[in-house]
Structure 1
């Protein structure tokens, strides 16, 4: 039996949540059970109450606002605990077309992808302004290069995730999970694809960021951090080598003048070059240490994955045992009594 849980991170969405829930599918091809999960990220309105009255099966409530990334992470943990085979993440503001959930789930159901992203066709999306389209395209290009994937809408939050992919992804950012998740998934060699989806105009300003410059800054930090986490040696060795290479020029300049007997007037070049060389060596050393830490992280993640699978087996055994204990004892066949007489 294949179970799909559709999770919706929410912050003060009591007014729009009913319409969003009403448009979600009750059945999806290839799925036996469809359930919903609302993550109330510290709402001050009646978001949780609305979700409960609308029959949402799983509600996660944060006592205070923790941010979208943490809400997404809490949703994944709850969905996995509830036995989801596939998890779909969508927004509460109705930006995405609920009927398209079947489209993004299909590649995962067919076993063709671990993660499927809903592509909003940013370049020609009439609901996005020209500036937003340009920023989305540039950002998606950067993430595509760094993650070694072929996803054209990297920040789309409309995505389907297989159970195993959800178990292997560990969101560490505090801003937005979208780019962090893609870079992780690409570096972990998960199968990622995308399908075109429909969108609707925004019903309110974004609550994820206050301004475009702020969004660019936080997204840039998230991308750099995620990429460095999985490519520490490449990043630090590259920076260290660049610093050392630049340091060779002032040292060469000093040696040139020293050979001509004018070295005493150019000691500053020697000091600058030596400082840059030292910085380069230290940076490379940091890269080696960071790579060792990254290797340790891989081992920890592998251990965490095994623990999660072990917990699943234990839960399954416990569930099977409880079901067996609830069944009435089988009555002995009457022929056994006749034969023993």
Structure 2
């Protein structure tokens, strides 16, 4: 269920967990999950910007190092991340986000890209939507009030539109933008969804939204400001092929009842 309410903008078993020295131990209100791969050069700035974006909020920052092979996890600890989870091998963004979600302790969970293509000052918009009754708040580049500082290359933009059309056809979805890297959840919704996800790669966003629909969770799309930064660690064509295949697998798993207990959570 998609609600396009016009929100205003406001300024484990998955791996080993480490808490950085001196990090805050009190229960957090907002848990921010940052999936990271070979991000040692940017992670300190990212952690600092996320913390600074919500100076009056209790924030838990969780960095999940997706088997980077560099010192991303150490840099995150030095930067003051509250939790650092290191996956022993590179499993994919979906696996990294899942690990963070299942280790978060806040009342509201948000995940965003480590390159901060969506400035963390936009996180409060998601929290406002959640506190107003949504179970899931989705940043959407297709929202009529969204804008861009720097656009993605034309091939990626075209590929994104084709992928969304394919997803809507295969899964009969109503979402116009499944892949925006800024999404928020209530703790209950996050646990309900991420204990069921199977996709480890970039198509995990599609699976998350498919499960939200199956569980009849209330979702709201919010506008975003995109400042695109090209990811040199992502190979476009191989990833696109894997994503299309993963969407077909989601359809198959759903049809075969492979997702446990999808009894709707809301009437």
TM-score of the alignment, normalized to the shorter chain, above 0.5: yes
> Is 1:198 paired with 2:225?
yes
Tell me what 1:140 maps to.
164
TM-score, normalized by length of structure 1?
A: 0.61
CA–CA separation in structure 1 for the residues paired with 2:120 and 2:35: 15
How many Å apart are 1:215 and its aligned residue?
2.7
How many residue pairs are counted as aligned between the two chains? 232
Q: Contact between 2:164 and 2:176, CA under 8 Å: does it hold in 1?
A: yes
Larger-gyration structure (1/2): 1
- Greater share of residues in helix: 1
Cα pair 1:26 1:34 within 8 Å, conserved: no
Pick which of 193-202 and 134-143 moved more: 134-143
Distance 1:114 1:147, change over 3 A: farther
- Equivalent in 103, 106, 131 of residue 78 of structure 1: 103
| Corresponding residue number in structure 1 for 2:136 | 115
Deviation track 1:174-199 (CA, whole Å, cap 9, x = no partner) reads 32211111112112211112111112
1:75 Cα offset (Å): 0.7
Equivalent-residue separation in structure 1 for 2:176 and 2:126 (angstroms): 15
Mapped partners of 1:22, 1:2: distance in 2: 17
Contact 2:152 2:230 (C-alpha < 8 Å) held by counterparts? no
Q: Deviations over 1:187-228 (max 9, x none)?
A: 2211112111112231542x34x232x233211111111122
Structure 2 residue aligned with 1:62: 87
Aligned 1:281-296 pairs, distance under 5 A: 290=256, 294=257
CA gap 1:2/1:92 in 2 versus in 1, 3 angstroms = closer
Structure 1 121/89 Cα, relative in aligned 2: closer, same or farther at 3 Å?
A: same
Deviations 1:79-116 (A, max 9, x none): 1xxx22111101112212111111122111222x1111
CA-atom RMSD, angstroms?
Answer: 2.7
- CA drift of 1:131 comes to 2.4
Tell me, yes or no, if structure 1 residue 157 matches structure 2 residue 181. Answer: yes
Query: Does 1:48 find its partner at 2:70?
Result: no
Change (3 A) 1:37 1:88: same
Q: Structure 1 residues 152 and 163, CA, compared in 2 at 3 Å: closer, same or farther?
A: same
| Counterpart position of 1:240 | none
Contact 2:147–2:225, Cα closer than 8 Å, also in 1: no
SS at match of 1:172: coil
What is aligned with 1:129? 153
Question: Take 2:78 and 2:62, find their aligned partners in 1: how far apart are those partners?
Answer: 13
Q: Which residue of 2 aligns with 1:106?
A: 128
Aligned-partner Cα distance in 1 for 2:109–2:220 = 15
- Give the TM-score normalised by structure 2: 0.77
Residue in 1 aligned with 2:31? 5
Query: Which blocks of at least 5 consecutive residues in structure 1 are unaligned?
Result: 233-289, 306-341
Report the 3-state secondary structure (helix = DSSP H, G, I; strand = E; otherwise coil) of the residue aligned with 1:116. Answer: strand
Judge conservation of contact 2:53–2:121 (CA < 8 Å) in 1.
Answer: no
Structure 2 equivalent of residue 313 of structure 1: none
Change (3 A) 1:136 1:204: closer
Q: Which has the higher contact order (CA 8 A, sep 6+)?
A: 2
